Amino acid sequence: MCKENKKIKVILCKPEKEAKAVEIENTLTALQVAVGGLIQVIYPFSDEVGIIANDEGKLLGLPLNRGLKDENGNLYDIICGDFLIVGLGEDDFCSLSSELMEKYLDIFKYPEIFIRSN
């Protein structure tokens, strides 16, 4: 039900940095600038939120950022490069509610360190 065409309140996650709430223009260009390239949207949660990440983050070798975990806490994917957590409206992205902002800031607040092994 969100109909926002100007700025939206979202979460920005950068590798090795604390996640933070930011306002961003709700345009394709602004989203692409925020993630450094073409965007892909991931829907890993049951809440009305999406993750906007660089579509080629892994191919470009962007820095490992945050892990995605299943309901048992098992890591199943790692997002590379900067990404946004946005609210989902009927047909567009929108601001996160204060409850979802708090929830996902808590989940993604601190950077993660990943170690590659054989």
Q: Is the pTM of this model over 0.85?
A: yes
CB atoms within 10 A of CB 1: 6
pLDDT in tens, 59-87: 999 999 999 999 899 999 999 999 999 99
| pLDDT (mean) for 31-35 | 97
Helix (H, G, I), strand (E, B) or coil at 27: coil
Computed on alpha carbons and rounded to an integer, the radius of gyration of the chain in Å comes to 14
